[in-house]
Amino acid sequence: MLMKNFTVFLFLLTSLNVLFAQESLTTFGFTFKPMISGGFINESTEVQTKDGVEFSVPKMFGYNLGMVVRKGFNKTFSLETGITHTQRNFSLVVNDADRDFSLNQEFGVVGYEIPVLGLVYIQLDKKIFMDASFGGGVDLFPSDVAIFSDANQVIMEGRRNSWIQAFLSANIGWEYRTEKSGIFYIGGTFHRPFAPIYGFLMEYDYDSQDQSIVPVRMLEVVNGNYLTLDFRYFFHEDPEKRMKRKKKN
């Protein structure tokens, strides 16, 4: 799996360099994408029960923030890439009704994304454009995560499936292009990795000092899908500078 994802990553970088050499016009910008709850994409929270103890790891609101680079070929087609910081947030929930014990603790998983997307534009007005994009890229996960409750009654260890994961991404949105103030964009993105990104192993031991008590363990696998509301801003590109670049090339 690691070699497969790494091969995909190298292929995307090679394709990116080839495409970028074909056109001189480049636009830089920033993106902020708050994540929407998993219930909007039919991902309801699954509650698992073992020996009377309930375990669940519901998704919380997270975000994606970073830099975007757009390469235009003509008025209809563009290529978009960049690098972004991704914060996926979860909540570890453990309930033991027989012993009147409950735990609800939030935690986060940090990652980085390098996407490569192809964009198609439809002009709706003089300054308003609708665009759709589809492509893929790689997710990078720098570390594992862990949680220890008070008195170590609940321990959670989250291990990444791989430090690099390939994903697919689809996007649709609208942008308002100004003459001197840049481009303002709003839209939505669906992000889907090819494989689960983390496994959370949870252990509950009501009395860790009593060696006769067998801890209750449960495994939760996280797929890493998310849906976002996208806000982007691209800096203004001076037409005179574009003409000078073309003449120089």
Instruction: For the chain, list the domains and their CATH numbers.
Output: 2-248 (2.40.160.20)
pLDDT band at 248 (very low <50, low <70, confident <90, very high): low
Taking only the tens place, the pLDDT of each residue in 56-105 is 999 889 999 999 999 988 888 999 999 999 999 999 999 999 889 999 99
**pTM: predicted TM-score of the whole model, two decimal places:** 0.80
Tokens encoding 135: 């492509």
pLDDT reported for residue 236: 76
Q: How many CB atoms lie within 10 A of CB 164?
A: 19
Taking only the tens place, the pLDDT of each residue in 150-188 is 888 999 999 999 999 999 999 999 999 998 889 999 999
**Of 42-51, 94-103, 145-154, 210-219, which gets the smallest average pLDDT?**
42-51
Tokens encoding 170: 């689809």
Mean pLDDT within 187-200: 95
Query: What value does the mean pLDDT of the chain take?
Result: 85
Mean pLDDT within 223-233: 94
> H/E element holding 37?
none
State the number of CA atoms in the 13 A half-sphere of 124 facing the CB: 9
Q: How far apart are CA 247 and CA 249, in angstroms?
A: 5
pLDDT reported for residue 75: 81
pLDDT reported for residue 243: 52
Residue 198 near residue 109 (C-beta atoms within 8 A): yes
pLDDT at 38 over 90: no
